[in-house]
């Protein structure tokens, strides 16, 4: 049975149509999260989403600190939804969506990368680093 990362690598290898340039952003976010003390898991739900979940070793009360979803409702035009617990990140530009009980039944802030937008991609990367730092505390 393949492990999570074989499934993730297989998914990425097969992701060829990418008009929104979401794949490079997803790859960048995976790289940010691939640090000592962070465990990653991957859940594939074709036609719905492909989810990368990150948990820090110092977390004891939550099973993750970020959920990076490749939204697969239109596989030829995939986009990203990156969700954090609301108390894990700031949103100085106020571009995130507050989602009551949106992440494991806790309040969340989700950021969408649903167009080819390098500024939004960088902003989400900053939020990832912020959440990572907070999870490590």
Among the listed residues 54, 48, 44, the one whose alpha carbon sits nearest the alpha carbon of residue 14? 44
Helix, strand, or coil (residue 133): helix
Nearest 5°: phi and psi at 117? Answer: -135, 100
Q: Contact 115/20 with Cβ under 8 angstroms?
A: yes
The dihedral of CA 118, 91, 88, 11: what is its sign? negative
- pLDDT at residue 1 is higher than 50: no
CB atoms near residue 69 (< 10 Å): 22
Residues above pLDDT 90, as percent of the chain: 91
pLDDT, residue 5, reads: 65
Q: Contact 83/99 with Cβ under 8 angstroms?
A: yes
Among the listed residues 69, 108, 67, the one whose alpha carbon sits nearest the alpha carbon of residue 87? 108
Query: Among all chains, which residue has been given the structure tokens 């393949």?
Result: 2
Report the alpha-carbon distance of residue 107 to residue 98 in Å, rounded: 7
Report the alpha-carbon distance of residue 95 to residue 33 in Å, rounded: 22
State pLDDT tens for residues 18-56.
Answer: 999 999 999 999 999 999 999 999 999 999 999 999 999
- What is the pTM (predicted TM-score) of this model? 0.94
Summarize the confidence of residues 72-89 as an average pLDDT: 96
């Amino acid at each position: 049975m393949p492990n999570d990362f074989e499934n993730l690598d297989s998914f990425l290898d097969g992701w060829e149509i990418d008009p929104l340039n979401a794949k490079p952003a997803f790859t960048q976010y995976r790289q940010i999260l691939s640090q000592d003390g962070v465990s990653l898991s991957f859940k594939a739900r074709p036609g719905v989403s492909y989810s990368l979940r990150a948990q820090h070793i110092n977390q004891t009360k939550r099973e993750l600190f970020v959920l990076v979803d490749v939204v697969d409702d239109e596989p030829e035009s995939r986009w990203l939804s990156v969700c954090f617990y609301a108390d894990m990140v700031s949103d100085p530009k106020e571009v995130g969506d507050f989602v009551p009980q949106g992440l494991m039944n806790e309040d969340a802030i989700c950021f969408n990368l649903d167009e080819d937008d390098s500024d939004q991609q960088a902003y989400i990367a900053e939020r990832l680093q912020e959440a990572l730092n907070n999870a490590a505390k």
